[in-house]
Amino acid sequence: MPDPQTESRAEILLPTKDLRGDLPFFTKTLKMRLDTIYPADNPHVAVISGHGLRLRLDAEATTAPGLIRILSDDWAQIADSQASLTSPGGTSVELDELNPPLVLPKTEHAFVVRRLADQAPWVIGRAGMMYRDLVPTRLGGAMIASHIRVPDGKVPDMVHFHKVGFQLIFCIKGWVDVLYEDQGGLRRLHPGDCFIQPPTIRHRVVESGDDIEVIEIGVPADHITEIDHVLTLPNEALNPDREWDGQRFVHNVGATGSFAPFRIPGFEARDTTINANTKGVASVMVARPVGEAPWTKHEGDILFTFVMSGEMTLEGEGKSPYRLTAGDAFVIPPGMATRYAETTPDLQLLEVSLPGSFKTITL
């Protein structure tokens, strides 16, 4: 146990123009407690604690007024449902939910083509990984699609989770080892393999080979990543059938899959089982040509496609044709007629759709 005489603690210094008025504001309105006050004859310093904070109110401080945020599952009960307050001494206070519900923005549909040859910038993201944005508009915040590289194969990762509606990791090149909550030991992805990470499942990237490349899809585009400082992976529990918000963890191995007729005539596809394991939230298919494809249109919401290998010409009504090659990506909005033409035999497409089941109309 640490020596109480040497144990350290941190305080947030807040100036106050009215210490006498601040005391009931913090102790009664915000339901915090008074720990220290001095000097006795004319106090100008008070230390207040609560809600995970320790505040030092100082009437002689010359710093700028502060802002504190209090997050609670029952925040409306703290200050009579007031979400924004200002103390008599000048401190601004905001109250909000500790675990707000996930909000899925309405999709702003658009026809999007993103080509690797256009040299979209690679940016450094979380854990030093390189990110290339495949859908810059993010469809109004409805989704994010990233092409991710780890140049040296090292990921300084820690146990974390995402507050997300749907998340896919699909390996394009190289390999990566990941640990997942309740799923046993290391899981390795090879090219053609994929994971779905159900909402809030704890996980940690352990190691990857040189020049690993994955496609990551997240819904919605802006979602929170939180670090879990308590759980150690691998954990002792083994529960492969566990559900997180109705979704099961999926580790789909591409080499073991079989192909069947696709929703688009002239193509066949390999089902990654994600539609079934998310109860229809999303579908992930790997498609390849077996003949000539007709014009089609879909009645889904989000339809994202990444070209993994080979070439094709994407034709769309009212649009100039796009010759696409490996590394290119596109989004087709519902109701827009398109055709996958002039395909090469080695063409392979990664298609991600939300919802998982939707109608395709052949024209």
Q: Which of 227, 253, 279 is at the close of a domain?
A: 253
**CB neighbour list of residue 187: distance below 8 Å, 6 or more residues apart:** 177, 178, 179, 180, 195, 251
Question: Which is more confidently placed, 129 or 344?
Answer: 344
Question: Which is more confidently placed, 198 or 9?
Answer: 198
- Nearest-angstrom CA–CA distance, 242 and 202: 13
* pLDDT at residue 1 greater than cutoff 60: no
CA terminus-to-terminus distance, the chain: 74
Q: Which of 56-60, 73-77, 177-181 has the lowest mean pLDDT?
A: 73-77
- Nearest-angstrom CA–CA distance, 58 and 358: 62
The pLDDT tens digits of the residues spanning 246-294 come to 999 999 999 999 999 999 999 999 999 999 999 999 999 999 999 999 9
Assigned domain for 342 exists: yes
Assigned domain for 106 exists: no
Tell me, yes or no, whether 35 and 157 share the same domain. no
Q: Which of 225, 253, 281 is at the close of a domain?
A: 253
Tell me, yes or no, whether 229 and 260 share the same domain. no
DSSP code of residue 232: -
Tell me, yes or no, whether 243 and 124 share the same domain. yes
The reply to whether omega before 355 is within 30° of 0 (cis) is yes
Q: For residue 328, what pLDDT is reported?
A: 96
Banded pLDDT at 101 (limits 50, 70, 90): confident
Q: For residue 149, what pLDDT is reported?
A: 86
Q: What is the dihedral of CA 183, 184, 186, 187, to 10 degrees?
A: -30
* pLDDT at residue 335 greater than cutoff 80: yes
Q: For residue 48, what pLDDT is reported?
A: 97
Banded pLDDT at 185 (limits 50, 70, 90): very high
Q: For residue 2, what pLDDT is reported?
A: 54
Percent of the chain with pLDDT strictly greater than 70: 95
Q: Greatest CA span in the chain, whole angstroms? A: 91
Q: Which of 209, 229, 253 is at the close of a domain?
A: 253
Structure token digits, residue 20:
């006498």
Percent of the chain with pLDDT strictly greater than 90: 86
Q: For residue 3, what pLDDT is reported?
A: 57
Q: For residue 248, what pLDDT is reported?
A: 98
Q: Which of 38, 76, 32 is nearest to 55 (CA)?
A: 32
* pLDDT at residue 126 greater than cutoff 80: no
Q: For residue 128, what pLDDT is reported?
A: 62
**What residues are paired with 260 via a beta bridge?**
269
Assigned domain for 217 exists: yes
Q: For residue 8, what pLDDT is reported?
A: 84
Question: 173 lies in which domain range?
Answer: 115-253
Tell me, yes or no, whether 158 and 249 share the same domain. yes
Assigned domain for 177 exists: yes
Q: Output the domain CATH number for residue 337.
A: 2.60.120.10
Tell me, yes or no, whether 242 and 135 share the same domain. yes
Assigned domain for 266 exists: yes
Q: How many domains does the chain have?
A: 3
Tell me, yes or no, whether 150 and 127 share the same domain. yes
Tell me, yes or no, whether 268 and 209 share the same domain. no
Structure token digits, residue 99:
């675990």
Assigned domain for 120 exists: yes
**Stretch 75-90: mean pLDDT:** 94
- Nearest-angstrom CA–CA distance, 86 and 84: 7
* pLDDT at residue 122 greater than cutoff 80: no
Tell me, yes or no, whether 244 and 278 share the same domain. no
Tell me, yes or no, whether 121 and 223 share the same domain. yes
The pLDDT tens digits of the residues spanning 287-325 come to 999 999 999 999 999 999 999 999 999 999 999 999 999
* pLDDT at residue 114 greater than cutoff 80: yes
pTM of the predicted protein model: 0.88
Banded pLDDT at 6 (limits 50, 70, 90): low
Banded pLDDT at 348 (limits 50, 70, 90): very high
Average pLDDT, the chain: 94
- Nearest-angstrom CA–CA distance, 19 and 265: 75
Q: For residue 150, what pLDDT is reported?
A: 79
Q: Output the domain CATH number for residue 43.
A: 3.10.180.10
Assigned domain for 107 exists: no
Tell me, yes or no, whether 91 and 158 share the same domain. no
DSSP string for 144-165? EEEEEEETTS-----SEEEE-S
Q: For residue 210, what pLDDT is reported?
A: 82
Assigned domain for 265 exists: yes
Tell me, yes or no, whether 271 and 146 share the same domain. no
The pLDDT tens digits of the residues spanning 211-253 come to 889 999 999 999 999 999 999 999 999 999 999 999 999 999 9
**CB neighbour list of residue 161: distance below 8 Å, 6 or more residues apart:** 200, 201, 202, 203, 225, 226, 228
Tell me, yes or no, whether 142 and 28 share the same domain. no
